[in-house]
Amino acid sequence: MARATHTTEASGTSRPGPRHHGNRHGRSEEARLAVLHAADGLLVEKGFAGVTMEGIATRAGVAKQTIYRWWSTKTDVLMDAFLQDVAEDLTARDSGDTARDLRVYLRELAWFLSASDPGAVFRALIAQAQHDPVFAQEFRSRYLDEQRRRDRRLLERAVERGELPPDLDLTAETDQLMGPVYYRVLVTDGPVGKEFTDRLVDAFLARHGLTAKS
């Protein structure tokens, strides 16, 4: 899914692998990972303003030109770093119990957004998206669209089980369910603990005539 995120070298075998420092078979995997880790580290340690191309290069032990060869901006690097770390992480379980799955998932989402390291990167990328529509579009097509598809799956499974009517606007329902969590994290800095997420889930269940089993 993610551009420049996987490689044919890294798979399976435990051979040390070739030490490309530049050759005709494309980029150095070593340099790529050093850049992504450096960007990640700088963001966590010094905040967004502390992430600079110059700083990434120095910390990664890489030439600036190597960064510019593969990425266009520091937010582009951060996006790759983010995708590398979390692309597949936030996926809802399917226990057969819709209410339970929703509660667990919203709690995981809230933790991810408000407390995890990748969540900090996510917030930085969302911030950048406010300033730069082109970046926003790329972030959506490289991560958000996929993530929202995963979010939807929760409700789709409930439709499949016959718990929700088949003609429901699942996109709107999902946004209505998850939106308040994003709002509190990005805007109000309000608490997004179990109390709040469960309230959102309960409202959703009630809205559709479902009762929590627990």
Q: Which residues make up the interface to DNA (CB under 7 A)? A: 18-28, 30-32, 34, 52-55, 61-66, 68-70, 73-74
Q: Are 191 and 184 in contact (CB under 8 A)?
A: yes
Which of the choices its own copies, DNA, none does residue 111 contact, using the CB cut-off of 5 to 8 A by kind? none
Which of the choices DNA, its own copies, none does residue 28 contact, using the CB cut-off of 5 to 8 A by kind? DNA
Rounded Cα distance, 88 and 204, in Å: 25
Which of the choices its own copies, DNA, none does residue 48 contact, using the CB cut-off of 5 to 8 A by kind? its own copies
The 3-state DSSP class for residue 89 equals coil
Which of the choices DNA, its own copies, none does residue 15 contact, using the CB cut-off of 5 to 8 A by kind? none
Q: Which residues contact 187 (CB under 8 A, 6 or more apart)?
A: none
Query: Which residue ranges make up the site for its own copies (CB under 8 A)?
Result: 47-49, 123-124, 126-132, 136, 140, 144, 148, 169, 171-172, 175-176, 178-184, 186-190, 196, 199-200, 203, 206-207
Q: Are 67 and 53 in contact (CB under 8 A)?
A: yes
Which of the choices DNA, its own copies, none does residue 140 contact, using the CB cut-off of 5 to 8 A by kind? its own copies
The 3-state DSSP class for residue 23 equals strand
**Nearer residue to its own copies within complex by CB, 68 or 183:** 183
Rounded Cα distance, 213 and 144, in Å: 31
**Nearer residue to its own copies within complex by CB, 9 or 45:** 45
Rounded Cα distance, 80 and 15, in Å: 26
- The CA dihedral of 94, 95, 98, 101, to the nearest 10 degrees, is -70
**Nearer residue to DNA within complex by CB, 28 or 147:** 28
Q: Are 98 and 158 in contact (CB under 8 A)?
A: yes
Rounded Cα distance, 176 and 194, in Å: 17
**Nearer residue to DNA within complex by CB, 18 or 179:** 18
Please state the closest distance from residue 57 (CB atom) to DNA, in A: 8
Please state the closest distance from residue 64 (CB atom) to DNA, in A: 5
**Nearer residue to DNA within complex by CB, 17 or 191:** 17
